[in-house]
């Protein structure tokens, strides 16, 4: 049996009042014609007398956030999607029956108000209520502190309450779709076509990540939730769609922390006849367009750093970046044994499947360089061992034409000059299987259909993947991914009534 607090019991008792008056306590349609902020904007610069002459009548609706009852007249504040507005209500204007109904209202109730816009003696824009409509009874009181929930976990777990009372949270919720719409507008203007590809797949490909496994009952077949968007999109290049992108959820069975959520939003884009450098130019232009269009600035304070997205961004190779920090020049050829000795001398632990020069180079980068890349930086020239879907560098086949974008010491994007050699691609898949046998749970499967697609011929291309949640974190200056996802994954609350 559920147990209720005293306040909850009182609110449930008030349902009888609605039954007596034949009013649905949980509402019917209400025709509103105005919003709080729009009303206030229309009143800017008007005197009390000028506002009176305008005789502005409105119909508004929202949640009661504050009540000051004063006998036969009262003030209350309702909040709609655009913000709060004050309402003056009097028994002389709406009659005794409706005023009695109002006096039973609680903070959290949703109501409709028809009335005339006026201004109080203190200059506050107010709606004088001429008709009061109860819409929805709130059976659970809002948190005590009007300014918002203080328990961060509760904010994420009960996002609906967070949105009711935290204006900043609502602003994030309303701004994120604008960021995604700006991305779509930008990509569409560059000639890209937005597409949709399958979420369920039978192969683990496109990224290095552990998957979520599900089961198809009819076919008695285990399947994966996708970890990336890459291979279906590249098949479209083979088919002649020369510029494609997708924004969609992907699923990686990994831990949760302020930077990671097991399901997150990724955008991948592929452009025929382009390359890695083309993706750099695209990224600079897109980030600057979104920042200016949606936020109105290009400098953001994030993790204590002032990040500047304007201008041309730094471009540096992985081996040069490591050399700057350690003095070790991995551009020089060396044996696995020599690389292992360097790792040992620098306190770097190497797993069995990482015992290659390329993996060791990456381990040095992660230890000495990654967190130092604060301003936007294109880090390119990755070892071939950690880039199974990327075209080799023609001057040094130990490395590939790939870059990662780092901002604030964190990865934001991953881009390639796409591998379109089916023979090399098949060999790379085989190497991934060997790594899986050595214990790499994130290694890719062989996708023979993709190899066959490449055998028909895929044009030279550039491709890139963007973490949309992390981009939102930067533009909204938030340090936790949970702040920019409406419903982040949370541990279940045990024994909750």
Mean pLDDT across 331-354:
95
pLDDT on residue 145: 56
Per-residue model confidence as pLDDT tens digits over 23-79:
999 989 999 999 999 999 999 999 989 999 999 999 999 999 999 988 899 999 999
pLDDT on residue 331: 95
Residues 176 and 305 in one domain: yes
* CATH code (residue 42): 2.40.50.140
Say yes or no to pLDDT of 431 above 90: no
Domain boundary among 142, 174, 205: 142
Distance of CA 61 to the CA centre of its chain: 29
Report the distance separating Cα 164 and Cα 270, nearest Å: 40
Residues 195 and 70 in one domain: no
Report the distance separating Cα 177 and Cα 468, nearest Å: 11
Residues 169 and 21 in one domain: no
Say yes or no to pLDDT of 219 above 90: yes
pLDDT on residue 433: 84
- DSSP letter at 257? B
Cβ proximity of 252 and 211 under 8 Å: yes
Mean pLDDT across 355-360:
96
Residues 296 and 415 in one domain: yes
Which of residues 218 and 209 earns the better pLDDT score? 218
Say yes or no to pLDDT of 398 above 50: yes
Residues 66 and 190 in one domain: no
Residues 125 and 209 in one domain: no
Say yes or no to pLDDT of 90 above 70: yes
Residues 133 and 183 in one domain: no
pLDDT on residue 148: 46
Domain boundary among 82, 110, 142: 142
Q: What percent of the chain has pLDDT over 70?
A: 98
Q: Is residue 290 part of a domain?
A: yes
Q: Is residue 96 part of a domain?
A: yes
Q: Is residue 318 part of a domain?
A: no
Residues 136 and 11 in one domain: yes
Mean pLDDT across 97-126:
96
Mean pLDDT across 469-484:
97
What residues make up the domain containing 476? Answer: 165-313+375-483
Angle, CA 471 vertex, CA 469 and CA 472 arms, to 5° = 65
Say yes or no to pLDDT of 280 above 50: yes
Residues 56 and 185 in one domain: no
Q: 124 Cβ partners below 8 Å, 6+ apart? A: 86
Mean pLDDT across 475-485:
96
Q: Is residue 296 part of a domain?
A: yes
Q: Is residue 342 part of a domain?
A: no
Report the distance separating Cα 84 and Cα 64, nearest Å: 9
Residues 117 and 189 in one domain: no
CA distances from 44 to 47, 85, 317 (A): 9, 14, 55
Helical pair 318-326 and 357-368, crossing angle rounded to 10 deg? 60
Number of domains in the chain: 2
Say yes or no to pLDDT of 449 above 90: yes
Task: Note the helical H segments in 166-313.
Answer: 167-189, 230-238, 276-290
Per-residue model confidence as pLDDT tens digits over 132-168:
999 999 999 998 754 445 578 888 999 999 999 899 9
Residues 138 and 191 in one domain: no
pLDDT on residue 146: 40
Say yes or no to pLDDT of 492 above 70: yes
* CATH code (residue 427): 3.30.930.10
Task: Note the helical H segments in 350-421.
Answer: 357-368
pLDDT on residue 443: 73
Mean pLDDT across 360-384:
97
pLDDT on residue 263: 96
pLDDT on residue 147: 46
Say yes or no to pLDDT of 387 above 50: yes
Per-residue model confidence as pLDDT tens digits over 245-255:
999 999 999 88
Q: Is residue 330 part of a domain?
A: no
Residues 37 and 84 in one domain: yes
Q: Is residue 71 part of a domain?
A: yes
Q: Is residue 462 part of a domain?
A: yes
Q: What is the chain's mean pLDDT, rounded?
A: 93
């Amino acid at each position: 049996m559920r147990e209720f607090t005293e306040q909850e019991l009182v609110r449930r008792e008030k349902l009888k009042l609605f039954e007596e008056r034949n009013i649905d306590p949980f509402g019917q349609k209400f025709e509103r014609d105005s919003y709080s902020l729009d009303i206030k904007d229309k009143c800017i610069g008007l005197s009390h007398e000028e506002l009176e002459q305008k005789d502005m009548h409105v119909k508004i609706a929202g949640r009661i956030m504050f009540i000051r009852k004063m006998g036969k007249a009262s003030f209350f504040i309702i909040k709609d999607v655009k913000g709060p507005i004050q309402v003056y209500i009097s028994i002389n204007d709406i009659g005794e029956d409706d005023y009695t109904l109002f006096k039973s209202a609680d903070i959290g109730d949703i109501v409709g108000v028809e009335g005339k816009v006026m201004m109080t003696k203190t200059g506050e824009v107010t709606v004088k209520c001429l008709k009061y409509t109860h819409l929805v009874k709130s059976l659970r009181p809002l948190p005590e502190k009007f300014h918002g929930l203080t328990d961060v976990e509760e904010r994420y777990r009960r996002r609906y309450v967070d949105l009711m009372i935290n204006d900043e949270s609502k602003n994030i919720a309303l701004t994120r779709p604008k960021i995604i719409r700006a991305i779509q507008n930008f990509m569409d203007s560059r000639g890209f076509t937005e597409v949709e590809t399958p979420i369920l797949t039978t192969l683990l490909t496109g990224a290095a990540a552990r998957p979520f496994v599900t089961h198809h009952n009819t076919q008695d077949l285990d399947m994966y939730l996708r970890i990336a968007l890459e291979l279906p999109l590249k098949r479209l290049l083979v088919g002649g769609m020369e510029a494609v992108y997708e924004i969609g959820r992907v699923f990686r069975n990994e831990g949760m922390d302020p930077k990671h959520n097991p399901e997150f939003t990724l955008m991948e884009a592929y452009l025929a006849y382009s390359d890695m450098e083309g993706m750099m130019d695209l990224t600079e232009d897109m980030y600057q367009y979104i920042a200016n269009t949606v936020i109105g600035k290009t400098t953001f304070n994030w993790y204590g750093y002032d990040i500047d997205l304007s201008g041309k961004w730094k471009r540096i190779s992985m081996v040069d970046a490591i050399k700057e920090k350690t003095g070790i020049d991995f551009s020089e050829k060396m044996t696995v044994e020599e690389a292992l000795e360097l790792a040992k001398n620098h306190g770097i632990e190497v797993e069995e499947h990482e015992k290659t020069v390329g993996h060791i180079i990456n381990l040095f980068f992660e230890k000495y360089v990654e967190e130092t890349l604060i301003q936007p930086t294109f880090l390119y020239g990755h070892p071939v061992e950690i880039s199974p879907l990327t075209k080799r560098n023609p001057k040094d086949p130990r490395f590939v034409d790939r870059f990662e974008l780092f901002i604030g010491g964190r990865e934001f994007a991953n881009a390639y000059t796409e591998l379109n050699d089916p023979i090399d691609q098949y060999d790379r898949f085989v190497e991934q299987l060997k790594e899986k046998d050595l214990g790499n749970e994130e290694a890719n499967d062989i996708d023979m259909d993709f190899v066959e697609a490449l055998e028909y011929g895929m044009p030279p291309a550039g491709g890139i993947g963007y973490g949309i949640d992390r981009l939102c974190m930067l533009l909204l200056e938030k340090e936790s991914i949970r702040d920019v996802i409406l419903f982040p994954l949370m541990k279940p609350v045990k024994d909750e009534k």
